Structure 1
Amino acid sequence: AMYGRIDENMEETVANVEGAQGQLLKYLNSISSNRWLMMKIFFVLMVFLMIFIFFVA
């Protein structure tokens, strides 16, 4: 009886670990896409700043 319960717990644990890995991968993808978005916005702001400094001031 004890072996059956240990086996059931192991299957549940494996399912939980696989679910956690999937969630971590989704989180990693969202972080990396947000990082690229921030870099693009920063680059555009720098370009506008350069234009302002060279042509307006």
Structure 2
Amino acid sequence: MLTCCAFHDRIDEDLDYTLANVEGAQGQLLNHLNNLASNRWLMSKIFAVLIVFLLIFVTFIT
């Protein structure tokens, strides 16, 4: 009977540990999604600048 109670306490500790890990993982995923969104915005700005320079180059060369 003593081992049953000890086993029960360990399950509670494992559940708390698992919950903390899941919450931490969720926070990391949200940070990753925010980084992806900002990287897309940066890449679109770089692409726009390159297009503008290409248009200027083609306009003055021809």
Residue 6 of structure 1, CA deviation: 0.4
Q: Which runs of 5 or more structure 1 residues have no equivalent in the other structure? A: none
Pick the structure with greater CA Rg.
2
Q: What is residue 47 of structure 2 aligned with on the other side?
A: 42
Q: What is residue 56 of structure 1 aligned with on the other side?
A: 61
| 1:32 and 2:37 correspond | yes
Q: Which runs of 5 or more structure 2 residues have no equivalent in the other structure? A: 1-5
Number of residues of Structure 1 aligned to a counterpart in Structure 2: 57
Percent sequence identity over matched residues? 63
**From 2, 21, 29, the counterpart of 2:7:** 2
**From 10, 20, 25, the counterpart of 1:15:** 20
- CA distance in structure 2 between the aligned counterparts of 1:2 and 1:34, rounded to whole angstroms: 47
The alignment yields a C-alpha RMSD, in angstroms, of: 0.9
Detail structure 1 runs of 4+ shifted over 3 Å in the superposition. none
